[in-house]
């Protein structure tokens, strides 16, 4: 088990370094000059060269890349080109908002997906099953950039129940959480249904029912434990996708998280901030995948034996 953890950690470090390097190169290939964004087109060439030298942008690309990796290794992501504040401070300010939105979205998804998936599996091929899975398919197909504005029009402008945008209180969390959570719930409900139907046909479920156990105990106590294995994998991937998918949702609702900070950094050509955002998102994604593997080990003893 220890060897497995060490190998996974080593692989994760390689992935983070690779992502960091690719992002660095891609950002510097994007058209646009951050010096011109900061000084404007009317600035003199001397002022541009001075600022470029101060920011280290006059160095060769490979030199900038090596210096960046050294700074990241020291947990120093540099200074924002636009605000001249440490990138780590900007990330620390925005991360809690994204975390709150992600947790709320997962809660919405779980509250919808688990009951819907279980009922659809227990009522296979009934009207409820067909309707719920059709709704789930529609939920998967609806993009966030369409659903978000639709919810704003309906519940903010027409009904006036929730704030239009910003992070002004608990009610401002509802619409962005529903926007992200419904898509997650749609996929999760279909996964739970398919996985539970497969497990309900196993011999140990038949034996449990033959021993006189109640249906609720058979489904929730025996079947769901094994049915959650593939669902856990999808949920882990969805947790990571929340951080990237939240970019669009945070922009729609002006939610002050990492997603909105990423968009602002792109618009301002703020390389250090953009690199810091993507690097942090990548690290969180890797950590979530590692935790998903550990949950797999806890849920399925066979996985534990294979890794020892």
In degrees and rounded to multiples of 5, residue 86 shows phi and psi of: -60, 135
300 half-sphere exposure, CB direction, 13 A CA radius:
18
Handedness of CA 41, 47, 49, 50 (dihedral sign): negative
Q: Which two tokens stand for residue 12?
A: 């994760």
Average pLDDT per block of 10 residues along the chain, 308 residues long: 71 80 74 65 73 72 78 77 82 86 85 82 78 76 79 83 80 85 81 78 70 70 70 72 71 82 80 81 79 68 52
Other C-beta atoms closer than 10 Å to the C-beta of 248 total 17
Measured at the CA of 81, the angle between CA 75 and CA 83, to 5 degrees, comes to 95
Other C-beta atoms closer than 10 Å to the C-beta of 167 total 18
The domain locations on the chain are: 2-73, 93-307
First to last CA, the chain: 5
Other C-beta atoms closer than 10 Å to the C-beta of 210 total 8
79: helix, strand or coil: strand
* pLDDT computed for residue 243 by the predictor: 66
**What would be the CATH architecture of the domain defined by 93-307?**
Orthogonal Bundle (1.10)
* CB 80 within 8 Å of CB 91: no
Instruction: Write down the residue that tokens 């998903």 correspond to.
Output: 292
- Give whole-number Cα distances, 206 to 125, 202, 210, 243, in Å: 20, 7, 6, 41
Q: Which two tokens stand for residue 274?
A: 């953009």
139: helix, strand or coil: helix
* pLDDT computed for residue 305 by the predictor: 47
């Amino acid at each position: 088990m220890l060897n497995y953890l060490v190998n996974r950690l080593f692989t994760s470090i390689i992935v983070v370094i690779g992502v960091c390097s690719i992002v660095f190169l891609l950002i510097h290939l994007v058209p646009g000059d951050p010096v011109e964004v900061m000084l404007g087109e009317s600035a003199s060439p001397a002022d541009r060269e001075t600022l470029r030298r101060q920011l280290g942008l006059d160095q060769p690309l490979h030199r900038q890349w090596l210096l960046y990796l050294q700074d990241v290794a020291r947990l120093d992501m540099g200074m924002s080109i636009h605000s001249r504040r440490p990138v780590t401070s900007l990330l620390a300010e925005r991360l809690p908002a994204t975390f709150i939105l992600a947790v709320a979205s997962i809660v919405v998804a779980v509250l919808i997906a688990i009951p819907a998936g279980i009922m659809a599996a227990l009522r296979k091929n009934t009207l409820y099953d067909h309707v719920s899975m059709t709704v789930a398919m529609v939920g998967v197909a609806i993009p966030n950039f369409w659903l978000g504005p639709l919810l704003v029009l309906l519940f903010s402008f027409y009904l006036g129940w929730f704030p239009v945008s910003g992070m002004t209180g608990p009610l401002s969390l509802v619409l962005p959480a529903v926007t992200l959570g419904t898509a997650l719930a749609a996929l999760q409900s279909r996964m739970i249904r398919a996985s539970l139907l497969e497990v309900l046909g196993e011999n140990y479920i038949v034996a449990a029912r033959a021993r006189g156990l109640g249906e609720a105990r058979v489904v929730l106590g025996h079947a769901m434990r094994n049915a959650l294995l593939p669902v856990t994998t999808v949920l882990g991937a969805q947790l990571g996708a929340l951080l990237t998918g939240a970019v669009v949702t945070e922009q729609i609702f002006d939610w002050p998280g990492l997603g909105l900070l990423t968009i602002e950094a792109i618009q301002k050509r703020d390389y250090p901030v953009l690199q810091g955002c993507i690097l942090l998102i990548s690290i969180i994604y890797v950590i979530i995948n590692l935790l998903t593997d550990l949950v797999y080990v806890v849920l399925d003893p066979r996985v534990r034996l294979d890794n020892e």
